[in-house]
Structure 1
């Protein structure tokens, strides 16, 4: 086995495995040394040398030349040394003699051990080569073939190495099969005992950046830069781009002729939507760009808390928020600002409330009130809590008028507190109703009745809709009953107005019925247009078809509801509400 010409074998392995020739020779020399020690013992002084001309590994045993041998392993007599090398003279006594060993005498077991060492060294050299090749490829894209699936991980064949796409790095709903070609982003290359582990990702935001670098020459050349990226893998990505050349449109460069460049990226991401946003040094403009395609009416900036209040037309509110809040969420991540989106109607209501409070303060003109509002003052309480020096530095104000303005604000605040007490008295009835409904829910839970079971008692609710409502915190009918903002159900849960009216009314009927009439029915009966919209929503939703809501029958059931057998002490319940307040 060891007498064949190794030069051709070494050259062939070097080409096939891409392993350095010196590493292969070192492995062969180590293997031959191991085989020789098996035969001669661990105390022998041995050395293995690769002879390139002969194409073999030569093993030498070194012994000291002496006249009288005291150690047969490390010494050789003068007479025996002359037999090995007739040209020796007595001057060589005390020197080492290299005796070439016949490798054929090592035996089968020694040869097997040498073979194992060679394989082990070759594997180690191959692992090191792969690690050295990929350790500098972090942050790059690689292409491979899906080979198999292991414990939720996708194993990808990269040619000379295998890589893994972990469960968290996979795109949800992306159907990947064995044999598919995939492009992935190299997140990390780890050196472990089994060899280099290459970690790939299909969800990393930088994967989109690298794809655009491949498709857009202006980006690879540095003319156009990607300033930021926010991504929800599989659904939508926003990237902010900027051009260093005023003659180059960064958005147009990324889109390409007839959208060819961006479509190539979308195709690689298997249909993921991509919004290309022009970057701007003006923070407000940048946030407005990030919220596109929604139109922005005005922006209120809070630099202290790095927050922006974005005002949009009422018909643009849903578009600005996006499906389940995705548009505003990605825009906030892209810009690094907290974004609060409000409709013009809501802002107008807030302004009217603030105006009612501020106009009651004596000594303030319309100009003063406008100034206070623009600086974030929304009530008389805000004026009382404001620092006097800051207050005096506002345009149109001075230190002399601060005491009188604050004194007047105190009086206004006292009047508002009186009105608040009146409202609280009105709310006591609501609190009593809330406690009655809460008691029923607790008792039902003790009996093992789940929130979903109660939700499915409502006409117009099936299991699919119940799960969607639960995702946004509407677990039972009581959550729908106490929801005052219909917009939240429309924009977050994505119900149409007719479906919202149907569900709110059904929740009112349910609450009235289970509390024996204690809880009032506050919602109006859905009209035919509402029921038509609700039916359209049910058709689009799919799943088990919800039962038709019989508004008139439910209304009659509510009127026929009888009080519960156990009456609630109203005074005790109201006292509890006040204590909690």
Structure 2
């Protein structure tokens, strides 16, 4: 059946909606299939094929080929849409289960299709194609700055018109708090996600992401856009305050000054775009400690103690600058923590000094007692950073010889005394364990014998709590012990823990 009207519809929709003709043809085929199915009393399966050049189209009824597994009264479950494999192979010996048997049937007239059905199917297909087109256009732009006009506001969330029938969505949590936004305003955002979904928004934009701050500096500061200045990171308290770390790739260029601009013009432009958010420009430094000191600006840091294991730093600040270092509601130290990646603890410098002096005096007395040296030598060791006897015993001789006033004889003597002190301490600990007696709760515990309790006490397992901390592997080497008995003893020792949790 020829139908030039089909070609006209495909041409019009393709041009108006700027989508491929193939999509419109597929939509028309779906509409014709729906109209054909509607014309039949029973729910049949059909397939319509349109010739893309002439507009001719043919309609085929389909039966799915099924195996004879679930017959009902000797026939297939759905005879209107299914056919047995044995029956299908009478006409086509090569056909397989899951294939379809086709039979050409009379096609409906395109001019007599229910207009609404055809229109709905075509529009639905066109919308799907448009949404796919938007995703394809923007999926490679994730991470970019997006500019749009506020189209509508719903419960604090904002929909942006990006032009060309493209819409972006800013969720309420991605909006700057208390920012006055009105319909028709032109605003910028950071494109954080593009998702292909059948309904709802597909482009998700954020006004609170730190990446938006970086993108704005790239836009406002030509040196950043050209790569002469690198933005190393940013941290934000949206709408209130932010910190951004920068470094120069050109030694002749001041990165902070370039980002601030003449009379603060550049940083002010960024601030205005972010609803007046105050932005601190921080000079990045390859030294973590110095970077943290810079990030805590404008507070002045008196001293800093780095704990590599905990990835934290203790920052000592004068009492009068303590509130400034912490910031309102902890804002300053929180932003510095986000920017540097270090856990930062701000402490009063006077109290930190007192604590440090007390700790140093404690270590000095320990060295005097265990190494049998005078206070002067003990003090020198503390000032050089030695905190334990183990460090003195095992640090390389060459390092200790670098200490002013220490010769080889003194260093060897100190190391010898340190090793002796460690040996004496180890022997004392071992004797203490060997002579230890089990606690009453361990002796009286169900499943425990007196000999086993004393054996455990000799290995440092004195109480039921000590036993509860053990694993099966820890107990397996005791006499007459197997995995089953070890597990029962451990679980019995842990019963008080479970009782406490239940009460809580």
Q: Same fold (TM over 0.5)?
A: yes
| DSSP 3-state at the match of 1:214 | helix
1:184–1:202 contact (8 Å) kept in structure 2: yes
- Structure 1 CA distance, aligned partners of 2:146 and 2:382? 58
Matched, 1:164 2:166: no
1:359-412 residue CA offsets vs partner (Å, 9 max, x unmatched) = 5546243353243255374xxxxx579785359976565323327888999xxx
Distance 1:43 1:388, change over 3 A: closer
Query: Which residue number in structure 2 is paired with residue 568 of structure 1?
Result: none
For residue 274 of structure 1, report the CA deviation from its aligned partner. Answer: 1.0
Matched, 1:188 2:193: yes
Matched, 1:230 2:230: no
Query: Which residue number in structure 2 is paired with residue 113 of structure 1?
Result: 117
| DSSP 3-state at the match of 1:401 | helix
1:29–1:49 contact (8 Å) kept in structure 2: no
Query: Which residue number in structure 1 is paired with residue 213 of structure 2?
Result: 208
Matched, 1:219 2:224: yes
Distance 1:8 1:215, change over 3 A: farther
2:393–2:416 contact (8 Å) kept in structure 1: no
1:417-446 residue CA offsets vs partner (Å, 9 max, x unmatched) = xxxxxxxxxxxxxxxxxxxxxxxxxxxxxx
Distance 1:384 1:140, change over 3 A: same
Matched, 1:125 2:125: no
Matched, 1:135 2:139: yes
- Structure 2 CA distance, aligned partners of 1:355 and 1:307? 21
2:221–2:259 contact (8 Å) kept in structure 1: yes
Query: Which residue number in structure 1 is paired with residue 57 of structure 2?
Result: 59
1:32–1:59 contact (8 Å) kept in structure 2: no
Matched, 1:20 2:20: yes
| DSSP 3-state at the match of 1:400 | helix
Query: Which residue number in structure 2 is paired with residue 401 of structure 1?
Result: 417
- Structure 2 CA distance, aligned partners of 1:247 and 1:317? 35
- Structure 2 CA distance, aligned partners of 1:325 and 1:117? 57
Matched, 1:269 2:274: yes
For residue 278 of structure 1, report the CA deviation from its aligned partner. Answer: 1.3
| DSSP 3-state at the match of 1:287 | helix
Query: Which residue number in structure 2 is paired with residue 517 of structure 1?
Result: none
The equivalences for 1:287-366 within 5 A come to 287-358=292-363, 360=365, 361=368, 363-366=373-376
For residue 269 of structure 1, report the CA deviation from its aligned partner. Answer: 0.3
Matched, 1:239 2:244: yes
The equivalences for 1:44-55 within 5 A come to 47-51=49-53
| DSSP 3-state at the match of 2:285 | coil
| DSSP 3-state at the match of 2:415 | coil
For residue 204 of structure 1, report the CA deviation from its aligned partner. Answer: 1.0
| DSSP 3-state at the match of 1:310 | strand
- Structure 1 CA distance, aligned partners of 2:350 and 2:47? 94
2:150–2:186 contact (8 Å) kept in structure 1: yes
Distance 1:279 1:24, change over 3 A: same
- Structure 1 CA distance, aligned partners of 2:288 and 2:159? 43
Distance 1:8 1:275, change over 3 A: farther
Distance 1:364 1:340, change over 3 A: farther
1:208–1:265 contact (8 Å) kept in structure 2: yes
Equivalent residue for 1:375, pick from 385, 390, 395 = 385
2:392–2:415 contact (8 Å) kept in structure 1: no
Q: Cα RMSD between the aligned structures? A: 3.8
1:295-316 residue CA offsets vs partner (Å, 9 max, x unmatched) = 2333333333333233333433
Q: Which runs of 5+ in 1 are unaligned?
A: 64-97, 378-382, 410-581
- Structure 2 CA distance, aligned partners of 1:32 and 1:270? 54
For residue 197 of structure 1, report the CA deviation from its aligned partner. Answer: 2.5
2:25–2:50 contact (8 Å) kept in structure 1: no
Distance 1:44 1:178, change over 3 A: closer
Matched, 1:103 2:94: no
Distance 1:374 1:399, change over 3 A: closer
- Structure 2 CA distance, aligned partners of 1:325 and 1:39? 71
Q: Which runs of 5+ in 2 are unaligned?
A: 62-103, 426-504
Distance 1:13 1:172, change over 3 A: same
1:201-225 residue CA offsets vs partner (Å, 9 max, x unmatched) = 1111111111111112222222221
| DSSP 3-state at the match of 2:56 | strand
2:143–2:192 contact (8 Å) kept in structure 1: yes
1:59–1:100 contact (8 Å) kept in structure 2: no
TM-score by length of structure 1 reads 0.54
- Structure 1 CA distance, aligned partners of 2:47 and 2:231? 64
Query: Which residue number in structure 2 is paired with residue 467 of structure 1?
Result: none
- Structure 1 CA distance, aligned partners of 2:47 and 2:15? 34
2:128–2:198 contact (8 Å) kept in structure 1: no
- Structure 2 CA distance, aligned partners of 1:309 and 1:4? 80
| DSSP 3-state at the match of 1:251 | helix
1:234–1:269 contact (8 Å) kept in structure 2: yes
| DSSP 3-state at the match of 1:191 | coil
| DSSP 3-state at the match of 2:196 | strand
For residue 161 of structure 1, report the CA deviation from its aligned partner. Answer: 3.1
